[in-house]
Amino acid sequence: MHIIDSHFHWWPRSIFDKLCKRNGYPSARVNAKGGYDYMRRQESGQHLNSWAEWFDLDKQLEHMDGLGHRVDVVCSIGPFSVAFSDMPVEEGRDYAIMWNEEMSGAQRRYPGRLWASAAVPLQDTRVAIAVVDDAVNRLGLMGVNLPGSVGADPRIDAERLAPFYAHVERLGLPVFLHPTDVTFQDMLDGYDGALHLSLGRVIEVSVAASRLILSGMMERHPNLKVVLSHTGGALPYQSGRMDKNSKAAKLPQPVSSYMKRMFTDTVSPHSAGMKFAIDYYGIDNVMYGTDYPCWDPATCLKLIDEIALSDADKQKLFYTNARRILGLRDSAPAKVPQREPALA
């Protein structure tokens, strides 16, 4: 079977090596697991950490080859996406462009097998738009990463960002909404990160998506393509409560109608959770995704096998939905130089 993994993480070491040399916060340090610890601020509780598997793209794709299927991948940033908004504007812009150039290089190395989305610094709206244009027009990236919280200002529905969302909508780019380690990090500290990692990130991405809805952003931008990670967080399960208790936002439609316009993946270590996401969003709005290297793709495939899906629905889930939703295109074939005719 030909599969596209819509939720895949590869991080370039060059970014983190540069962060290790940065004075003050945010910064990074090498850890004992072959990766890095990222510190947003000195008093942070649970720090974002990574391990060796995040940084070796060749080995990651070899792992995919061992699943018994052809697996193409879509790179998104994940929880690190907030880093570009943690810095001063110009520095965040430079780090984002550096990240995007690394992603573009990976696309060129693996044409037709790997697609990548862009880092964007959101502290300044005009800079954010300029970085998006550079990522699309110069570097050929296919989407934009949106953290659940924006640096010191946690509101991704801030009024100043309205032109950014309008611009992304005009470009037809998918927006990957992924939780970070900002808003609920301190509240859910302790237990060596267990509470924050298991519940905090689910809460944060749910709040972020709700802000896009309740602010009227989804109403004003009907063609905005939001890809909500982790089977939609807590939102599908709380859909009825959202409709019942969100009337004060005075939206012209029920909240659930905007939720169902979003897209999601299969990142849930629970076949019943996957099935509920498919039933709630509809098979046309769900894409296979594994959150690799945070989760084992073999386990994801096994859990999907426990769901009764027709062959046609499996084709949508594993391949055609990602092509359509994310606008994935095959790379143009390399041009073969034409030889001059031999002289008589």
Q: Where are the domains of the chain?
A: 2-325
Weakest-pLDDT range from 25-29, 157-161, 182-186, 338-342:
338-342
Q: Which pLDDT value is given to residue 155?
A: 87
- Lowest model confidence (mean pLDDT) among 11-25, 123-137, 169-183, 316-330: 169-183
Q: Are 231 and 254 in contact (CB under 8 A)?
A: no
Q: Which of 293, 292, 318 is nearest to 305 (CA)?
A: 318
Of the listed ranges 133-137, 220-224, 260-264, 329-333, the one predicted with least confidence: 329-333
pLDDT given for residue 202 in this prediction: 79
Task: Please give the share of the chain, as a percent, with pLDDT higher than 70.
Answer: 92
Does residue 50 register a pLDDT over 70? Answer: yes
2-325 fold: TIM Barrel (3.20.20)
pLDDT beyond 90 at 154: no
Query: What mean pLDDT is predicted for residues 183-198?
Result: 71
pLDDT of residue 12: 98
Return the pLDDT at 47.
67
Q: What mean pLDDT comes out for the span 142-165?
A: 88
pLDDT at 337 over 50: no
Is pLDDT above 60 for 322?
A: yes
Q: Would the pLDDT of 335 be above 50? A: no
pLDDT band of 180, cuts 50, 70, 90 = confident
Q: How confident is the model at residue 43, as a pLDDT?
A: 67
Q: How confident is the model at residue 343 (pLDDT cuts 50, 70, 90)?
A: very low
Mean pLDDT rounded to a whole number for the chain: 91
Q: How far is CA 322 from the centre of its chain?
A: 13
Query: Which tens digits make up the pLDDT trace of 77-132?
Result: 998 999 999 899 999 999 999 999 999 999 999 999 999 999 999 999 999 999 99
pLDDT at 340 over 90: no
Q: What is the pLDDT of residue 333?
A: 42
